[in-house]
Amino acid sequence: MQKLFPRKLALLAGLFALLVSMPLASNQASVPSSRYRFYVQAKSRADVRRLSGWLNKNEFDVAGVNLHTGILEVLTTDTGVAFLKDHGLTGRLVSVQIAGGRSARLTGLDARYLDPAKVAKRLADINAKYPTVTRVIEIGRSLNDLPILGLIISTTLDTSDPAFHEKPTVLVDGMHHAREIMTPEIVLDMADTILAASARNVRAHNIVSGINLVLVPMVNVDGNTKVWNDDNMWRKNAHAQAKSVFGVDINRNYPYRWANCDGSSSDKGAQDYHGASAASEPETQALMNIADRIHPMASLSYHSYSELVIYPFGCDGEFTSENALLSKLGSEMANLLPSDDGKGHYTPGTPWQLLYAVDGDSMGYLFATYGAVAYTFEVNQDFQPSYNVREPTLKKHRAAWSYFLDQIQQHLETFHVQDASGKPIAADIEIKEIPHTKGERSFATNIAGNYFKVLLPGQYTVHVTTKDGRSGSADLMMADSPSRTTITVQ
């Protein structure tokens, strides 16, 4: 539930003037007595960006954006509608009826979608069907002590075994935000599709044998439980104080750039409340812990909605030093993803280019910490579309994620660092052509002495340094095919 009045004065040039600033507290523990979908029409693509940023800063719940039509959906209440109209916003207003008691949910939530129990059963069923190449793992537990489950797909299933780290790892997650019910469907469909095809399809077989896939279909199990029992527009986790649930936005709680660039809120009532401190939430810690075990070289995170392919960084005006790679691959995947209404395709870009500034997100964290080629997909044109939309959504995303897996394998450089005796050794890696200027962590080898990096074709100069001060270097010419460089430190 959004805080309805702004926390600071702001001006939206070209749309409306903000006249007053009066905070009004909201109660996150209860479902509001009224709720509306307010579909606001922006005047241009630039106005979409300005308007979504203004709404986000003023703590309205910007449900999603259709960049092709310029329509933004705002979830709000009577007071919020009045406030927005007072400040010149017009658009289509839809009243949403809310039932009482334990079924206090918006109409239209289809029971065929996955809840935490169904996710656990699907994972167990997959493991039972493919026991030699899958493993179900618990990566952490929620505030309400529910397991946060993952699935490893690989011919090497033990993350503590050096053999696991002889292959690159891809981390895929869904449902950071509780109401985004299509996202675990896509993650689990990835498992089903790859495993079913691996015995007869060379590409699928190469995925299982050549990389480690670690899938976390439902990060926010507590929040999703609340979606099914109390309020199906709930976004955050179930963080509470004195039995009053206000929730933390898990995807604003990661340490990289946490609360750093006005890309989240310090207000507990805001939909993008970043928490009391960086990595304060067990769900955040769970994903961080599994990432630290596997050192992902690539990551896909599924969210909804707005039909976007997003890549780092989230803070206003900032691009990574790998923007050429990220934008190229992001654009290619977007072109494989037609819009649900058939009137266009997904739109690629950074969060601040398309919507508003974001800080403390998982995508930025994985990129800055591990150098992972990281993307966030905002799927569909609604949080909870008709179940008839499920299969077309899965089908189009199969094309995108399979292309992604093909491309990162094709452009993979493996750096192996060893000492003079040939023993693998831990080292930091510097690639001259990829400078770190935004607080990113140095590239680092895993426990097998390997670092896996997706690179565009070109020439690169590499320098490695061990903890005891030894060093080595190499020059390489990356072609349009995978390669391996061994660096011996002296």
pLDDT digits (tens, 9 = 90+) for 293-328: 999 999 999 999 999 999 999 999 999 999 999 999
State how far the Cα of 123 lies from the Cα of 129, in Å rounded to an integer.
10
Q: Would you state the pLDDT for residue 108?
A: 58
Contact 127, 134 (CB under 8 A): yes
Cα 380 from Cα 390, distance rounded (Å): 10
- Which pLDDT does position 414 carry in this prediction? 98
How far CA 95 is from CA of 78, 181, 233, in Å, comes to: 10, 22, 14
Q: Report pLDDT digits (tens) over 184-210.
A: 999 999 999 999 999 889 989 999 999
> How confident is the model over 214-237, as a mean pLDDT?
95
Element at 228 (helix H, strand E):
helix 221-229
| Mean pLDDT, rounded, of the chain | 90
- What token pair was written down for 439? 């607080």
pLDDT of residue 97: 56
| Position 413 pLDDT exceeds 50 | yes
N-term to C-term CA, the chain: 58
Range in 147-161, 223-237, 245-259, 312-326 with the lowest mean pLDDT: 223-237
pLDDT higher than threshold 80 for residue 254? yes
Report residue 45's pLDDT band, with 50, 70 and 90 as the boundaries.
confident
How far, in Å, are 120, 389, 442, 472 from residue 461 at the CA level? 46, 47, 15, 11
pLDDT digits (tens, 9 = 90+) for 267-282: 999 999 999 999 999 9
**pLDDT at residue 88 in the model:** 87
Of the candidates 181, 156, 253, 174, the one whose C-alpha atom is nearest the C-alpha of residue 216 is 174
Query: Out of 1-15, 270-284, 469-483, which region has the weakest mean confidence (pLDDT)?
Result: 1-15
Strand ranges (E), 45-203? 61-66, 71-76, 91-96, 134-141, 147-153, 169-174
- Nearest-10 Cα torsion for 422, 424, 430, 432: 40
Q: Which of 44, 32, 84, 87 lies closest to 62 in space, CA to CA? A: 84
The yes-or-no verdict on residue 93 having pLDDT over 50 is: yes
* Euclidean distance between CA atoms 454 and 223, whole angstroms: 34
Q: What is the mean pLDDT of residues 444-471?
A: 97
Report pLDDT for 433: 98
| Mean pLDDT, residues 51-80 taken together | 90
Structure tokens at 425: 């050794």
Tens digit of each residue's pLDDT (9 = 90 or more) over 414-426:
999 999 999 999 9
* Structure-token match 């979908």, residue found: 37
Nearest to 41 by CA among 69, 82, 13: 69
| Closest C-alpha to 138, from 292, 289, 279, 302 | 289
